[in-house]
Structure 1
């Protein structure tokens, strides 16, 4: 009798476990499908309203125009794209080396006690409201640039971009540190056995082995920089500009970097804020331009995330 009841109990437990596993699977599938549905819905909504805008403004004029003045009906997106890319590139120059070096220290050099203190402190940077970064850039960092001899205007691309770079450092460092920590210790021990120093192991073994995760953190952080609004709206200004150029030898024009980054500019996100505010006051076309800008920004961000996945798959290391 006891053996029969035990067998029945085990069988019932196995069936219950399988039922729970199926339930969990459906819940996870539903969550994954929901994220795809939301993304698709956003894309469809942007596309439908952007088509209305393009029925008034030709797509060629929008994509190739060099002037963005909604009050005059000029909707050339190139100055906004340039401002967005300028902020992205400069912030990357700040965040990527700083974040990777911080991740290397936390992963390879810091003790467990030091890591437990520094990593949460570093991640606090991501929790500071972005309006605070914008205020710091406008009130403190721009005057600091002037003390260094940089003739920066009140609103300028450089100070906004540097503060955006500081803003995304936690994303780079945290994700990169997780990727480095996942590298098997056997690789480190093999390198030490061959006489490598800790620096050699970090640069020659750990970072290359974690390259896929590090590259993914770069793309995710830069996607965050592309979508930043408050810092650039407060510190960069609201005047879309094309880069300053000069004529070089043989009449070849070239961009003047310092004159470009020390003047004001505008990104697509801040232009979208203006479009919302000016919709009723100017014309419906201005409101519709919001969706054209949103679609352009969506495509840029999607392309960067697609690139991130390709790089991660290309350099992913699998360990047994």
Structure 2
């Protein structure tokens, strides 16, 4: 008996082989490739723009002076180049933001994934993500004219300055809640229902199932969301510039005015430093350091995702 050709469907005379080129698919693939190349080229361009001025800066200022001093004032006379005050301020405000965003974001993600009905989820998730579209300058002025006076009236013993790291960190945390909540909810929604049903079959409550089954199963995605939020908080400019201030003081007290790395770049890049001067090159040195810190966090996130990623059939 003659065998039927692979290219012909059984019972039909039509060939399953591609009859004509799919130009639409080729165009889509080309657009996606171009988008990916633009992303890579942008990153390479940023690195290329930072390298030369950074090398010139460190040819005049030693690494020992840059990392070995706690006096920062490149725009002062005489200048000081100890970078630790703005590093400490960046880390401190980022930590405050994470302490706000992670509990609230994860709680919102658990509710949307495990408790909310499809109708409620369809309404509340877009509303939550609207926070990501609010201009950061609005958050900054809100922190300056509302949050700081409110904290001063509620906690007078804190002796808050008019601009302080606490208010800036709180509003940065509110700003990154949608990142933590949305990405974490997506990871939890991808957990197979079979894991939930198995937990319920063993007598676990919905809360226990959410915390002990769903969250660990979605751990890699949650970690990626948190690291992305940390990177976003570390690079925030307008909120910390308006609410946190520009005073670079080496202190761990969040009630004081502080200047972060991003705030310094905004201040120095606004025209306070003449092009080609050592103060101007400081912008690129600080930018390179911030880029390295952000890159390290994203690399760590990728490794965590790879290590703890759960694959389900």
TM-score of the pair, normalised by structure 2: 0.90
Per-residue displacement from partner, 1:217-275 (whole Å, max 9, x unpaired)?
0000110000100110011111011125xxxxxxxxxxxxxxx1111110011111222
Equivalence for 1:16: 21
Q: Summarize the Cα distance change of 1:187–1:14 in structure 2 as closer, same or farther, 3 Å threshold.
A: farther
Equivalence for 1:160: 168
RMSD after superposition: 2.0
1:104 partnered with 2:130: no
1:28 partnered with 2:21: no
Which residue, out of 256, 261, 276, partners 1:268?
Answer: 261
Distance in 2, matches of 1:240 and 1:125, equals 29
Superposed, which structure 2 residues align to 1:190-209 within 5 Å?
Answer: 190-209=198-217
Distance in 2, matches of 1:192 and 1:240, equals 54
Which residue, out of 219, 231, 238, partners 1:230?
Answer: 238
Unaligned runs of 5+ in 1: 245-259
Per-residue displacement from partner, 1:12-46 (whole Å, max 9, x unpaired)?
x44514x7656544543333233222211211210
Aligned pair count reads: 298
Which residue, out of 143, 162, 181, partners 1:173?
Answer: 181
Distance in 1, matches of 2:33 and 2:134, equals 34
Q: CA deviation at 1:107?
A: 0.3
Equivalence for 1:300: 293
Q: CA deviation at 1:278?
A: 1.3
Distance in 2, matches of 1:24 and 1:123, equals 28
Equivalence for 1:74: 80
Equivalence for 1:129: 135
Distance in 1, matches of 2:59 and 2:121, equals 56
1:93 partnered with 2:99: yes
Distance in 1, matches of 2:152 and 2:215, equals 37
1:241 partnered with 2:234: no
Distance in 1, matches of 2:206 and 2:165, equals 39
Give the 3-state SS of the residue equivalent to 1:177 in structure 2.
helix
Which residue, out of 228, 236, 246, partners 1:220?
Answer: 228
Per-residue displacement from partner, 1:66-114 (whole Å, max 9, x unpaired)?
1111212211111010000001111000000110010000000011111
Distance in 2, matches of 1:34 and 1:112, equals 37
Q: CA deviation at 1:300?
A: 0.4
Give the 3-state SS of the residue equivalent to 1:261 in structure 2.
coil
Equivalence for 1:251: none
Equivalence for 1:53: 57
Equivalence for 1:284: 277
Distance in 1, matches of 2:204 and 2:198, equals 9
Distance in 2, matches of 1:269 and 1:240, equals 12
Unaligned runs of 5+ in 2: 1-7
